[in-house]
């Protein structure tokens, strides 16, 4: 399966609490809900199309527990798929899942996720779980990244690519904007980020 990270972020890179002020108040974060004013029909259509490609969801423990609490109570076009897809949660503290079907991946996460990726299928999707996504990008396991960038700068909160591993190179494969100003970007992960020395514009024209 192809491992794909899907994240909602602000223009200054914050991924924490896109859906409501109470979604994630870790470290005293109070500015959640920044994505909601910009939702529109095109956003719903594209994210639904992305979810249609999933053969499983890969989640960190915190996101899993929040999703397991909330998604069974939500009535929208995504609910049936979110609730029925196989869930894989990376955790050495959980012993079992409550949001079925769930498999808890204990032990070495790189080995466990690598084994999952080797299975046949389309996409294994990470939703939320920014820490897990960062870790797997640094480990070289991510195949693609999908970003929904909101036209908002909020100045605080946990940022998506607070990266401590090696560099990551991305190749843009799709881009689109929605009527309410969201920017939808899709990238393939292509290894280390390339670097070069600037030698004037003549090298590029």
Residue 204 has pLDDT above 80, yes or no: no
Q: What is the pLDDT of residue 183?
A: 98
Q: Residue 197 burial (CB < 10 Å; 0-12/13-18/19+)?
A: exposed
**Fold classified for 2-166+174-181:** Dihydrofolate Reductase, subunit A (3.40.430)
Average of pLDDT values for 26-37? 94
What is the pTM for the complete model shown?
Answer: 0.92
Of 122, 113, 82, 114, the C-alpha closest to 99 is 82
Report whether pLDDT(165) > 70.
no
- pLDDT beyond 80 at 33: yes
CA-wise closest residue to 85 among 70, 64, 100: 100
**pLDDT tens digits for 95-133?**
889 999 999 999 999 999 999 999 999 999 999 898 899
Report pLDDT for 53: 97
Q: State residue 164's pLDDT score.
A: 64
Q: What is the mean pLDDT of residues 172-190?
A: 97
Per-residue pLDDT band at 142 (split at 50, 70, 90): very high
3-state SS track over 105-163: ECCCHHHHHHHHHCCCCCEEEEECCHHHHHHHHHCCCCCEEEEEEECCCCCCCCECCCC
pLDDT 10s digits, 42-86? 999 999 999 999 999 999 999 999 999 999 999 888 999 999 999
Domain ranges for the chain: 2-166+174-181
Six token digits for residue 204: 């590029």
Interval 148-160 mean pLDDT:
94
Q: What is the pLDDT, as a whole number, of residue 6? A: 96
Residue 13's pLDDT is what?
A: 94
């Amino acid at each position: 399966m192809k491992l794909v990270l899907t994240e909602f972020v602000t223009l200054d890179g914050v991924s924490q609490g896109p859906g409501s002020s109470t979604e994630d108040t870790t470290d005293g974060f109070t500015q959640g809900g920044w994505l909601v004013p910009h939702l529109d029909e095109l956003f719903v259509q594209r994210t639904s199309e992305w979810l249609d490609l999933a053969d499983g969801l890969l989640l960190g423990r915190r996101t899993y527990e929040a999703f397991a609490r909330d998604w069974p109570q939500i009535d929208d076009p995504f609910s049936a798929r979110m609730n029925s897809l196989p869930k894989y949660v990376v955790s050495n503290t959980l012993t079992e899942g409550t949001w079925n079907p769930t498999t808890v991946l204990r032990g070495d996460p790189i080995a466990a996720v690598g084994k999952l990726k080797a299975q046949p299928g389309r996409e294994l999707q990470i939703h939320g779980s920014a820490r897990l996504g960062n870790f797997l990008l640094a480990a070289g396991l991510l195949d693609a990244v999908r970003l929904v960038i909101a036209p908002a700068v909020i100045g605080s909160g946990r940022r998506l690519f607070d990266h401590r591993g090696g560099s990551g190179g991305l190749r843009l494969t799709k881009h689109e904007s929605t009527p309410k100003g969201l920017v939808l970007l899709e990238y393939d992960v292509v290894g280390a980020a390339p670097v070069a020395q600037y030698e004037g514009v003549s090298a590029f024209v």
